[in-house]
Amino acid sequence: MKKGHQVTMKEIAKKLGVSVSTISRALKDSPELHPETKRKIVEMAKEMNYQPNLLAQSLRISRTKTLGVIVPEITSHFFASCISGIQDFANTRGYNIMICQSNESIDLEMANIKTLVSSQVDALLISLSRETNHYEHLLDLYNREIPFLLFDRVNEDIPVSKVTFNDVGGAYEVTKHLLENGCKKVMYVSGPEDLYISKKRKEGYMQALEDFGVEFDPKMVKISNLTTEGNIKIGQEIAEMKERPDGVFCMIDPVALDILAYWKEKGIRVPQDMALAGFTNNPSSAVVEPSLTTVAQPGYEMGKLAVTHLLDQLDGIASDDPISIVLDTTLLPRKSTEK
């Protein structure tokens, strides 16, 4: 062995014919490995005069075993499910989590980051606020080498790992479902156009129309501001159209639920007069009558994958190179689209 050469975990791994992550776990005395395996690895490391990276070591020692989580809103069932997934799998690995809510405000998002960093969390999991349109606070975190990851509401330009849903695919599935169930004129009720999910779900809607040879009609897209009043206004506009759609796909369940309540009041029958579908699978969607066809986004699964990847990075099991994890959604056909 060359003098002055610093032995790496990779070299030990090669020598023993095991993976680098096994070496890493053995040197951290992980309970997941067989004691005999650990003993062999530790002996080999000694024999090869392995010197752990002291900087990384000192960082590891000063860990608080706490992760910070920032979500736009805790009252959302979806984000609450993400938090549960994050918490369960953080706890399994001996970490606790502290959660902050940005209330969809970029100022509060910045304040939350400051609060959590002052509390010396080891890393952060962040889902961006609706308002976040500049990213200095995130690039600052990155430059200060504070590990973090983005989930659900992400920005493509931040060089960290991201966990998102296949929004295009989900919207494609629900539009396809409406078309296959006999709808000829499917409308898309979108949220504000600059929202990431507004765009992605429209993309899926358009793709399905194209694949089914349906010409796109701009009158078949409406935009709600996502307030209850805004949603009801759209429901009213649709009711008053001369040529109504026969199927309506709403970007998120609350829009569909508000429209459904308004139509029921006005005697418009779902699905007989118009089929209706949402996206996100809010708890109310299953109990409303008719039950609402929607797309399930497994929030718990997203939280689990996000925290597991982040902790793998912290523990040196996963590479620090950012990756993109894309989760599939599931169409849940219910009575609101049965024609």
Spatial separation of the C-alpha atoms in residues 186 and 248, rounded to whole Å = 6
Label residue 297 exposed, middle or buried (CB < 10 Å: 0-12, 13-18, 19+): buried
Adjacent-strand bridge partners of 165: 327
Please identify, using beta-carbon distances, which residue of 18 and 98 lies nearer to its own copies: 98
> How far is the C-alpha of 154 from the C-alpha of 199, rounded, in Å?
14
Q: How far is the CB of 101 from its own copies (least distance, A)?
A: 6
Among 100, 149, 302, 314, binds its own copies (CB under 8 A): 100
Q: Which listed range, 135-143, 219-227, 287-295, 329-337, lies at the site for its own copies (CB under 8 A)?
A: 287-295
Backbone angles phi, psi at 157, to 5 degrees: -85, -10
Closest C-alpha to 279, from 183, 212, 198, 210: 198
Binding to its own copies (CB under 8 A) within 215-274 occurs at 257, 261
Q: Which one of residues 16, 20, 42, 80 is an interface residue with its own copies (CB under 8 A)? A: 80
276 binds its own copies (CB under 8 A): no
Interface pick for its own copies out of 87, 224, 231, 337 (rule CB under 8 A): 87
Q: Among candidates 68, 60, 117, which has minimal Cα distance to 97? A: 68
- Any residues with CB less than 8 A from the CB of 29 and at least 6 apart, and which? 38
Min CB(203)–its own copies separation in Å: 30
**Which range in 110-118, 165-173, 187-195, 266-274 contacts its own copies by CB under 8 A?**
110-118
* 62 forms part of the interface with its own copies (CB under 8 A): no
287 binds its own copies (CB under 8 A): yes
For the bound state, the minimum distance from the C-beta of residue 283 to its own copies, rounded and expressed in Å, comes to 6
